[in-house]
Structure 1
Amino acid sequence: MHNFIINASIQIIPVVTDKHPYEWVDEAIAIIQQSTTVKHEVGPFATVVEGNYEDVMAIIHDVNEYLYSRGCSEWITNCQIQIRSNGNITGDEKTEKFK
C-alpha cells in the first residue's frame, strides 16, 4: 500500500457483563493515545485516526490485541477507512468548511 495519509474511524462495542463497557472502551482509547505516529480525535461514538496506512492498520490491530490479551470476552470493532490512491486524505480536508 502507498505511504499517503489516510483516515479511519474506530468504534469498539464491548459485548460484556463483567464490567461496564465504557471501561473497556476507555482502555482501547488509551492504546490509541499511546501512538506517536497516528493523529487521533476521540468522539462520542468513535475515535478518528489519521496517519499512513501501515500505522492506522497497526492501531486497529493493537486495540484488538489489547482487548484479547486483557480478557475482554467479546467485542465488535467497527471501522471506516478512507484511502485516496494518489495523495493524502485528511479529516481537516473533509470538515474544514464546517469550522
Structure 2
Amino acid sequence: MHNYLVNASIQILPIVQDKHPYEWVDEAIVVIQQSGIKHEIGPFATVVEGTYAEVMAIVNAVNEHLLSKNCSEWIASVQINMRSKSDITANEKVSKFGL
C-alpha cells in the first residue's frame, strides 16, 4: 500500500452485558490516544489520520486490546477514505464549514 495520508472512522460497538458498553469504548479510545496518531473523538466514532499502515495498526491494536481484556464480543466498524496518488485529510473535507 502507498504511504499517502488516509483518514478513517473507527467505531467500536460492544455486544456485552458484563459492564456498560461505554467502558469498553473508552478503553478503545485510550488505545487510539496512546498511539500518537492524529485523531478526533466524536460521539459515534473516532476519526484517525495517518498512513494506511498506521491506521490499520491502530485498528489491530484496538481489537487486540479488547481481546486481551476479555471483552466477550464487539463489532469494529471501520471506514477508510484514500486516494491512489495523494494525501487525503479530514481537514480538507470540513474546513469549508469552519471546522
TM-score, normalised to structure 1, is 0.98
- How far apart, in 1, do the equivalents of 2:96 and 2:34 lie? 30
Q: Which runs of 5+ in 2 are unaligned?
A: none
- How far apart, in 2, do the equivalents of 1:35 and 1:72 lie? 20
Aligned pairs for 1:1-99 within 5 A: 1-36=1-36, 38-99=37-98
User: What count of residue pairs does the alignment treat as equivalent?
Assistant: 98
Identity fraction in percent = 65
Q: What is the Cα-based RMSD across aligned positions, in Å?
A: 0.4
- How far apart, in 2, do the equivalents of 1:52 and 1:74 lie? 28
- How far apart, in 2, do the equivalents of 1:85 and 1:96 lie? 22
Moved over 6 A (4+): none
Q: Which runs of 5+ in 1 are unaligned?
A: none
Deviations 1:30-78 (A, max 9, x none): 0000012x20000000000000111000000000000001000000001
Shift of 1:8: 0.1
TM-score, normalised to structure 2, is 0.98
- How far apart, in 2, do the equivalents of 1:88 and 1:80 lie? 16
